[in-house]
Amino acid sequence: RIIDKYETAAGVEQVDLMDLDPEEKYSGIICVSTVEHIGQGIDPNQSYGDKLEKNDWQGPLRAIAKIYDLLSDNGQALITVPFGRYLERGWYVQFSQDYLNLLFEHYGIPKKAINFRYLKLVKVEEKQPQPSVWVQANPQELVSAEYNKPFHFANAIAVLDITKIPGTRSALTQHPPVFKRITSKLCAQRDFQTDYYQYWIDKLKAPEKIHRKYWEWVVMSQALQERGFLKPGKKGLGFAVGNEPLPSAFASFGCEIVGTDQNYDIPEAKENWGTTDQLCRGKQALNEQGICPPESFEKLVSYRDVDMNNIPVDLKQGQFDFIWSSCAFEHIGSIAHGLRFVKESLKCLKPGGIAVHTTEFNCSSNTGTINEQNLVFFRKQDIDRLIGELAAEGYRVEPPDYWRGDSKYDLMPLTDFSQPWVPHLKIKNGRLRGNFFAVNRP
């Protein structure tokens, strides 16, 4: 049987691989230079592909998982794909080793089911039919291999020899993951796939983009809503609110909100944060997007200048149901300053109140880190120590989940720091913004 969604040749069934019934079983499947186009757009010659509003970057992986599920027990498949530097080019995806590894980590195919071999193109004859010479290679020497450079099309390929392990199937045909109530956790791409993420992006009038900053806003909002804190009668205190939408969003639920930030007129604050429009410009700036009706906003929201290293005594009288900060306490002097702020801020909570904070997390080391006046990266040991010290004082910290994710943006950090607003969750030096944690006051 030969299938191709677009081919019209004799003997070829115009069938989409992804539409095949997974209960169909085959003892052998061959797929040469095909899966990299699945879920992608039209090729430059307009000969195959679909017009898509958005390409499915995981489409090629889904196709391989589909092939695995179509195999009978001990059945075999041979698949070739372009290999080298990870590329998305609209009509194809070039695989990298990290991308291939998602077959195991995300799609649940047993590692022993796939044997990888790698070939690189070393020569192409000019005369038709242009025979080419390929030699075996190891993946390490192909990490920078390009598509169409120096030869046309793939300059390196990965060959997947697949044997179906009896009784197994990929996650493609398993039940989708169940998303539990948010706990203390690291930022992961799977969070962007939840219904609540879309709800909050709409509510906060934030861009529909995979970006760590928007994740922070969403998980804090969802955590508060799940626990019943976003409703009339509740009172919240935000630190270093800048121009974030959270004060107005929380007020739109009927909460009384006090937003705080550094004094805009302090030269050092203006130099560090004002020039990038990250300091709050006053109360009205907190509702610039009109998330909260003006009458309610005027009644429910107030603003005052607060130094996070010196929280005013009148705020530490246990009168707030919840407090929050979004990527703030890593910028107030040192690791010690940041941890001290968390402890001091808890004095603002009523008994039974909750604190939700996000901060920078060092995902490359639990020993060495950055600890400078304007920026620190907290390590797992720092967070664990804080949790232990808070527990000794009677506070309950939501159990931390240190899973870092296994999807595209979990694995592929931002390398061009001149474009901080492009989609990303990590940056190359090992920093991961998005260590969310929640603390309950006894």
Predicted local distance difference test score (pLDDT) of residue 277: 56
Predicted local distance difference test score (pLDDT) of residue 166: 92
Cβ atoms of 118 and 139 within 8 Å: the answer is: yes
Predicted local distance difference test score (pLDDT) of residue 433: 43
Strands 301-305 and 256-261: parallel
Q: Which are the contacts of 31, defined by CB distance < 8 A and separation ≥ 6?
A: 63, 67, 77, 78, 79, 80
Predicted local distance difference test score (pLDDT) of residue 247: 96
Amino acid residing at 133: V
Cβ atoms of 438 and 387 within 8 Å: the answer is: no
Angle of the 335-345 helix axis to the 380-392 helix axis, nearest 10: 30
Please state, in angstroms and rounded to a whole number, the distance separating the CA atoms of residues 171 and 289: 41
Cβ atoms of 40 and 32 within 8 Å: the answer is: no
Please state, in angstroms and rounded to a whole number, the distance separating the CA atoms of residues 304 and 102: 47
Look up residue 29 and give its two tokens.
């499947």
Give the start-to-end residue ranges of the domains of the chain. Answer: 17-173, 185-440
| Statement: 185-440 belongs to CATH 3.40.50.150 | yes
Closest by CA to 381, choosing from 392, 395, 366, 369, is 366
**Is the pTM value of this prediction over 0.95?**
no
Cα angle for residues 334, 317, 398 (degrees, 5° grid): 60
Peptide bond into 312 cis (omega under 30): no
The CATH number of domain 17-173, selected from 1.10.530, 3.40.50, 2.60.40, 2.60.120: 3.40.50
Predicted local distance difference test score (pLDDT) of residue 272: 55
Predicted local distance difference test score (pLDDT) of residue 431: 44
Predicted local distance difference test score (pLDDT) of residue 435: 56
Q: Are 17-173 and 185-440 in the same CATH fold?
A: yes
Cβ atoms of 329 and 383 within 8 Å: the answer is: no
Low-confidence stretches of the chain (pLDDT < 50) are 175-178, 273-275, 414, 417, 430-434
Q: Which are the contacts of 322, defined by CB distance < 8 A and separation ≥ 6?
A: 224, 229, 234, 235, 236, 237, 349, 353, 354, 355, 356
Cβ atoms of 187 and 433 within 8 Å: the answer is: yes
Closest by CA to 341, choosing from 365, 363, 315, is 315
